[in-house]
Structures are given as structure tokens and as C-alpha cells.
Amino acid sequence: MSTVLFEKEGFVGTITLNRPDKLNALNAELVGELHRVLAEVRRDKDLRALIVTGAGDKAFAAGADIAAMSTMTGPEAKAFGELGHAVGAQMETLAIPVIAAVNGFALGGGCEMALACDFIHASTKAKFGQPEVNLGVIPGFGGTNRLARRVGIGRARELCFTGDVIGAEEALRIGLVNGIHAPEELLGKVKEIAAKIATKGPLAVAQAKRVLLRGLDVPLPTANELEVQAFAALFGSEDQREGMAAFLGKRPANFVGR
């Protein structure tokens, strides 16, 4: 697989979008390979966190490949959009946290891929936007509603209607990203966060991710019931016993994911 790279260090995996000569623009080949790599990640029971980033120092993904899209028919565009949505759903529903390390442009489909991750850290040089209206179309990989859930409906409307591109500082201010770092420090900082998560109870992290995702789309009492069920389900696991014994024994916990 040439357009998507994957490496694993201990409990942490890193996916790199790898078309640096095209600013990692998302064509059908790259999105299809990403779909396959994520399916392999789902089967890897040793992973506890995943990082997604872009090759080079200019772009996470500058958007979808406009040259490829310019000749698409309606049915072809629908199939491409559905593939992008499938990838976003894969990242959202993985049992492990997915962190975007945005090292440059994250525009259009690139911004949408970042939004499908659990949270985003960015380089000070990062740029975000959903500029599809400049091309006579709208976001097609889930950007409209994921953006609204991340930054609020008003800001999402403005970004989608104007096609404006914002920098890292503004993205941090409106809650699109969680932190910004010097370009040369970004990936190292994100790896530190991923490694920290990997020391926590993996069953607990998975349940927290599931409840946070599902709770967004249901009334608060239903979301709270989901939380109670998940909380109770963790009792009796080896990790729960180990975590509490470690706390009481004033030692680091050794979680095994059971």
C-alpha cells in the first residue's frame, strides 16, 4: 500500500496519509487503502491508541483530489462519498482512541478526516476549512454535522457557507482542536498523549468512547442510562480489579484488556 502507511510502536499505531507530492489529497485509491488499513487496525487486539497524520510538512490532507472529482458523475460521487463516510465511521467506532496530528492543510475531505478522529492536535502552521462551496458542492465525507458537533451549529454554518479557511489559533479558540504545537514537536507531543492513554484501562477507555459517541444522539436521560450500564459492566473485569488494587497499593496498574 503506497498511499497509506502504517507503523506500530508498542501499544500505539500511526497511520500516515502518503501522497506528499499531491499534499495528501484524497483520491479513491487513498481512501480505499485507508479503509483497508483501519479494518486491520480493528483486528489488532494489542493496539490501545491510533494516530492519523499526513506525510511531509505541508499537509495533513489538502482535500479531495479535485482533478479526479471533476469528471465524476452523480452516482460516482455518491459512491465516493459513501466510501469517505465508511472510513469516518470506522474511526469513530474503533474501540481505541484515534488522534489526528494535523501538520499543515486540513481542508475539505482532509478536515473531515480529522473531524472523524476523537480529537485533534495541530501544528502552528495548520489550516482548517470546508471550502467545498467554492467548487459548487458541499462537504461529502461527514463534515457538515461532525463540524457542528465539534464547534457548534453557528460556527459550522459560517465555515460551510463561506468556505473560509482558519488557522490553528482560531481553530483552538473555537474548540476545533485541543492543542497546538511547533511543527517539529507535533508528532512527538501526540505520541506522548497516545502513550499516556495506552497506560489506562483499555476496556474503560473503549466504554468511555462508546458512551460519549452514542450519548450525543439521544436525550440526556438515555445517555445517562448508557453510562450506568457501561460503568456496571466494567465491574468484575480483570482490569477493574487490577486498577483498584493498584490504587490501594499505591503502585502503577498493569492493565491487560480483560
Q: Of 7, 9, 29, 132, which one is the catalytic site residue?
A: 132
121: how many CB neighbours lie within 10 A of its CB?
Answer: 26
CB 55 within 8 A of CB 102: no
Same domain, 36 and 69: yes
Same domain, 91 and 36: yes
Q: What are 13's strand-pairing partners?
A: 8, 50
Task: Give pLDDT tens digits for 24-74.
Answer: 999 999 999 999 999 999 999 999 999 999 999 999 999 888 888 888 899
Q: Of 9, 112, 184, 192, which one is the catalytic site residue?
A: 112
Q: Is residue 254 part of a domain?
A: no
Same domain, 166 and 231: no
Rounded CA-CA distance 136/128 in Å is 19
What is 16-84 written as a DSSP string?
EE--GGGTT-B-HHHHHHHHHHHHHHHH-TT--EEEEEESSSSEEE--B-HHHHTT--HHHHHHHHHHH
112 among known catalytic residues: yes
Same domain, 155 and 229: no
Average pLDDT value for the chain: 95
pLDDT bin (cut points 50, 70, 90) of residue 228 is very high
Same domain, 210 and 124: no
pLDDT bin (cut points 50, 70, 90) of residue 117 is very high
Rounded CA-CA distance 149/115 in Å is 10
Task: Give pLDDT tens digits for 185-206.
Answer: 999 999 999 999 999 999 999 9
Residue numbers of the domain that contains 233: 202-248
Same domain, 40 and 156: yes
Q: What contacts 232, CB < 8 A, 6 or more positions away? A: none
pLDDT bin (cut points 50, 70, 90) of residue 81 is very high
Q: Look at the chain and report how many structural domains it folds into.
A: 2
Rounded CA-CA distance 240/204 in Å is 9
**1 has a pLDDT exceeding 60:** no
